[in-house]
Amino acid sequence: MSFQVIIKPSDRVFTVDEGDTVLDAAIDAGINLPYGCRNGTCGACKGQVLAGEVSHGEYFDSALSEDEKKTGKALFCCAQPLSDLVIECREVAGEGIPPRIMPVRVEKLEKLSHDVMGMTLKLPSNERMQFMAGQYIEFLLKDGRRRAFSLANAPHHDRFLELHMRLVPGGQFTQYVFNEMQEKTILRIEGPFGTFFLREDSTRPVIMVAGGTGFAPVKGIVEHALQLGIKRPIMLYWGARTREDLYLDALPQQWQAENPLFRYIPVLSDPAPDDAWQGRTGLVHQAVLEDHPEMQGYQVYCCGAPQMVEVAHRDFQSHGLPEEEFFSDAFTFANPVAKVTV
């Protein structure tokens, strides 16, 4: 059995097979709905069910409140149709790139800091993965689980795929990467996923906000923008705890030195005494607001921990940023909080 879904206001139509989620069916149909985590955590795929019924599936209670559900809100990465549907959501311009499952070989492992590993993946000979800067891939593990990591390279450098992995305490996969994985290991990935990429049709100045390894997709987006010769000002605010956590600090400094439209503002929340830090301190999104108290004219790309993304979204909107000009990718772990099933 399958169900028909109509998207408002575009009136585009696609079908969802019984047991599939609205988002997965849209991706398969080449329809670009906004989304991030695909596991009910970040809330990026939240939309309105105007007609019909859904099973909400498993989701994280921080992403969808009971009051929102009562008004017809749903997370389309988890929602499965129980009937034909009419939904309302903001679509992403352009057609989506269909994800592919591919084998990859670990070409290089390089510690970028005490808890960040740079991983370079090589695709099969004569193969390339089409993707947009800022998207992510998922590793398909032997036990059926998946682990998602953002691509840190831009599409014009697609011979290899670059990832930045932070060591997660108790994290089975990252512990394996840091302590056991060898170069030449063969893995399986699926991708690309996500709608965190540069909106090239805009003329607004760009503010990039990265927390920790949220720098990875931002790096890809900036390198893509510079390759295009973009004429919009780009400001990168990179927040970290200590100076060591700015694990590729020399790279954005180089971008700034070579590109008059690019500006780099590192922000440390808890600099160590040995850092002898003379730069900005505090919360990274607060540094943005100190410099840009009126945000009506900007476009923001924000990537990092869910709490940082959520607070930045709220505070930037309260300072005038239009809802449709905020794009985010919230990094989530496998099981950060208890799920709700309805």
pLDDT digits (tens, 9 = 90+) for 261-292: 999 999 999 999 999 999 999 999 999 999 99
Question: Structural domains in the chain?
Answer: 2-88 (3.10.20.30), 100-193 (2.40.30.10), 206-330 (3.40.50.80)
pLDDT of residue 105: 97
Reduce the DSSP state of residue 276 to 3 states and report it. coil
Q: Which residues of the chain have pLDDT under 70?
A: 93-95, 332-342
> Do 332 and 247 meet the contact criterion of CB atoms below 8 Å apart?
no
Q: pLDDT value at position 336?
A: 40
Predicted local distance difference test score (pLDDT) of residue 243:
96
Q: Is the dihedral of CA 241, 153, 89, 148 positive or negative?
A: negative
What is the model's pLDDT at position 92? 80
- pLDDT, one tens digit per residue, over 134-189 is 999 999 999 889 999 999 999 998 889 999 999 999 899 999 999 999 999 999 99
Residue type for 286, please? Q
187 within 8 A of 139, measured Cβ to Cβ? yes
Q: How far is CA 48 from CA 14, 68, 85, 340, in A?
A: 16, 9, 10, 19
Cα 146 to chain centroid distance, Å, stands at 16
pLDDT of amino acid 338: 42
Q: Which of 206, 182, 170, 180 is nearest to 335 (CA)?
A: 170
**Is the bond preceding residue 9 a cis peptide, omega within 30 degrees?**
yes
Mean per-residue pLDDT over the chain, rounded? 92
pLDDT (0 to 100) of residue 210: 98
